[in-house]
Amino acid sequence: MTNTPKGITRLDGADAAAGGTPRPFAKAVRAGDYIYVSGQVPTVDGEVVSGGIIAQTEAVMQNIMAVLELADCGLEHVVKVNVWLDDPRDFTSFNSVFAKYFTAHPPARSTVQSAIMVDAKVEMDVIAYKPE
């Protein structure tokens, strides 16, 4: 965790991509009461999880929860989610996994089809709200 003069806190944890290359972005940034989590893809130890949309969505959710933990937050603090799917036919299966994690009070969400920068089926970023 590093503070900037602007009162913005970078939340990085182990801030290196696969192979030890430093990331040119923070895993998350706290700005006031909001935590902005960078896009999470279905990786474990730097490798994309094999399998279909269900396994990959589970991995993304685990990665999001790990990053939120750096800000002492959980999924209950998430107010907005952006989702990119590489294949719109995966929407129903993706949604079934997503619904398991956001049951009582689901966040606002946008879901679009898009080419993802790694060979994955899904990417998600979130915004959480937790007063300091």
Backbone phi, psi, residue 130, to 5°: -150, 110
Say if residues 12 and 26 touch (Cβ distance below 8 Å).
Answer: yes
| pLDDT (mean) for 94-108 | 96
- Beta strands 78-85 and 2-3 are unpaired
CATH number for 2-129 (one of 3.40.50.150, 3.30.1330.40, 3.20.20.70, 3.10.450.630): it is 3.30.1330.40
Query: Tens of pLDDT along 67-79?
Result: 999 999 999 999 9
pTM: 0.87
pLDDT at residue 5 tops 70: no
| pLDDT (mean) for 34-52 | 94
Domain boundaries, the chain: 2-129
Report how far residue 16's alpha carbon sits from residue 53's, in angstroms, rounded to the nearest whole number: 25
